[in-house]
Amino acid sequence: MLNLAPKTLSPSPFLFNPIPIPFPQNPNPKFLTQSRPSFKSEYQTERGHEFETGDTFFWHESATGRDLSVLAASLYKKSKSRLRVLDALCGCGIRSLRYLVEAEADFVLANDANEEYRRIISENLSRVDRGFGENERRWVVSHFDANRVMAERYLQRDFFDLIDVDSFGSDSSFFLRNAMNALKLDGGLLYVTSTDGYSSGGHRPHHSLAAYGAYVRPMPFSNEVGLRMLIGGAVREASVLGYNVTPLFSYYSYHGPVFRVMLQLNRGKLVDDRYYGFISYCHQCGNSDTISWDKLGQISCPCSDSKVSSYPVVSGPLWTGPLHDAAYVTEMLNLAEQWGWVGSGKGTDLEKLLKLMVDESDPRLSFGYIKLDEVASRAKVNSPPLMTMMSTIHKEGYAASRSHIASNAIKTNCPMTVCIRIAKNLQECHS
Ligand SMILES: C[S@@+](CC[C@H](N)C(=O)[O-])C[C@H]1O[C@@H](n2cnc3c(N)ncnc32)[C@H](O)[C@@H]1O
């Protein structure tokens, strides 16, 4: 039986072989050597926590991504009364610190392959249990390749409730199999990241095929495709292991750009092909659709007279199901309000984001989003005002919501032809 009690500092007593892997052997050296964001100050404050960043890889633009994961982790702790976290690529350790303080994690293993970060991570985490004896510490720092840490935890049957794989700049698919193996599979959480805007934009389909198992073509809602590509890759990997995946929230940020998804894994039902399939986009008429596996040979588009159209381009397989669990996101919003992060007329970006995520979860909405610039260009009118467009779409009996991904776009089940007609009418009314 493993002792979960707080341990001394690295090298981690959890690991089979406490000899760190030297950098050149790291399987992903490109990631370690890439240029890092620089800051004037070596100290930062986030949600009231002061911490040192020094020369570590730290982006304050990722604060919202950290807020979201801490909220989800805290809800998990409240429902399961336990929370063991692996912060597998921890940088300066800010996430580990926040999981310990805000989500009240019982234990955090803060790992970063870069040994030069040892002092900074340890000092940042020392602030958490200040006043406690060394034996009462809830955290351990290690410096190994993340895949190695996860594989060793799995072999020791020492599982985590939450694994955070912040693989900024590299493919999280590289870590997925080991992360899933090291996760508790009665609802354990896996937070994964991609910064692969080229692949989601359809600019390197062979790479997206290799990394995420999806051949991705250019589509106007490519940033949502990026989230679906990331989830789809995890769905495929999980189903190999006999697990199913539920996205709790999916977050796109244009800083990077970064795609982050919080996935819940459970044993049992394998990949649900209702939610794992193909997406088509017709450049001719602007309509998009999902295509199930059994309809792959019969792709046509409403704008085409012929049975088999040459117009739609197809990407996939991707996750085609809901991007968020609306109930979970609502609980996150309530918790954020309790913590004073939102509410009282503050109208914070986090509040707007969480509310948009709930709106986006309306089951009547189709995947993707329609950019109003595209509607305007097809209708040959000026770009229609977003709120007027949405209310007119509602009046016509369709569902519509704003998108957290693109500010001048709507998610809707309204066909492009109807959007074009509405945009033309709006222009006529105002001229
Ligand atoms: C995006 S940064 C982490 C940022 C941090 N999670 C935060 O929120 O501030 C990625 C980190 O992963 C580390 N890293 C790169 N490859 C790794 C690997 N294979 N295993 C473990 N850590 C790795 C890098 O040293 C870098 O600090």
By residue range, what is the domain housing residue 33?
Answer: 23-194
Please indicate, yes or no, if residue 321 is contained in any of the structural domains: no
pLDDT of residue 283: 87
Ligand 1 centroid – CA 194 distance (Å)? 13
CATH of the domain at 28: 3.40.50.150
β-pairing, 139-142 vs 107-111, is parallel
What is the position in ligand 1's atom list of the atom closest to the CA of 26? 19
* CB contact at 8 A, 165 and 172: yes
What is the position in ligand 1's atom list of the atom closest to the CA of 92? 9
Please indicate, yes or no, if residue 78 is contained in any of the structural domains: yes
The residue nearest atom 17 of ligand 1, judged by CA position, is: 113
pLDDT of residue 13: 37
Please indicate, yes or no, if residue 240 is contained in any of the structural domains: no
pLDDT of residue 268: 80
* CB contact at 8 A, 67 and 49: no
pLDDT of residue 304: 66
pLDDT of residue 274: 86
Query: Between helices 63-80 and 94-101, what is the axis angle to 10°?
Result: 40
**pLDDT tens figures, 266-278:** 998 667 788 999 9
Residues in the chain predicted with pLDDT less than 50, given as ranges, are 1-35, 38-40
Calpha distance 392→380 (Å, rounded): 19
Please indicate, yes or no, if residue 169 is contained in any of the structural domains: yes
Structure tokens at 31: 């990631």
Radius of gyration of the chain (CA): 23
CA 254 centroid distance within chain: 13
Strand partners, 243: 267
Please indicate, yes or no, if residue 287 is contained in any of the structural domains: no
Please indicate, yes or no, if residue 210 is contained in any of the structural domains: no
Ligand 1 centroid – CA 112 distance (Å)? 6
**Could you give the number of structural domains in the chain?**
1
Pocket test of ligand 1: the residue of 32, 44, 60 to mutate, having most ligand atoms within 8 Å of its CB, is 32
The residue nearest atom 26 of ligand 1, judged by CA position, is: 91
pLDDT of residue 194: 92
* CB contact at 8 A, 208 and 215: yes
pLDDT of residue 430: 75
Please indicate, yes or no, if residue 379 is contained in any of the structural domains: no
The residue nearest atom 25 of ligand 1, judged by CA position, is: 114
pLDDT of residue 17: 35
Q: Please tell me the number of Cα atoms within 13 Å of 315 on its side-chain side.
A: 33
Please indicate, yes or no, if residue 42 is contained in any of the structural domains: yes
